[in-house]
Amino acid sequence: MAALLLPGSRLAIRGVGLNPTARRCSISWSAWEPGIRITEIESHNGELIGDLLVTHAPVRGGVIEKDTTAALIDEIPVLAVLGAASEEGLVIRDASELRIKETDRIATIAENLRRMGIRVKNLKTALSIPGRQRFRGAELDSFGDHRIAMAFSIAAPVRRWRIVDAWRGSRVSLVPGVLHGFAGVVQAGE
């Protein structure tokens, strides 16, 4: 997702699992963001696998609610970070499940956005993030949640600063190689 925000970016991701949830995510993103395209789809052992092409493009923003919120519940942290840089901002509704994930993700998203100087309103089951905001360097905390750590890591290359301590205590071991892979993408984008 960092490639959307970095001018001149063009990132091809091969062999992405396109299960029904991932497919809904990509279809939703295609409507919300023209910088993400599925370029190839094939079936491998009964599973859909595809290639994605992500290019720098203005992120529109919008509203995520109802069934879409439920389908994208694990992607909400990264969408919230993108929402701050989007043209229209992002409103996320019907997100009560975020309060009971590995952390209270509504609170941790809002806390880390505020640390980066981003205005955000967090409500009981919703987040409202105005667009066209600029990130500033900050010390962030994953609160032990790997999705929070990964979500806020996308802001680092945009402002050419390091997020300190974002990975502390997170369970990134659940996704082998994620740190190495992310570091390679960030370096390629610099």
Q: For residues 63 and 83, give the distance between their C-alpha atoms in angstroms, rounded to a whole number.
A: 10
- Please name which of 41, 50, 51, 52 lies closest in space to residue 1, comparing C-alpha atoms: 52
Q: Which residues pair with 121 in a beta bridge?
A: 128
Known catalytic membership, residue 94: no
Cβ proximity of 138 and 115 under 8 Å: yes
The beta strand positions in 45-185, using DSSP E, are 47-55, 62-64, 90-92, 121-122, 127-129
Give the whole-angstrom CA distance, residue 173 versus residue 167. Answer: 11
Nearest to 90 by CA among 37, 132, 142, 42: 132
- Sheet of 47-55, strands arranged across: 10-17, 47-55, 36-44
Which residue in 74, 104, 145, 165 is the catalytic one? 74
The count of C-alpha atoms lying within 13 angstroms of the C-alpha of 62, restricted to the half-sphere facing its C-beta, is 13
Catalytic residues: 74
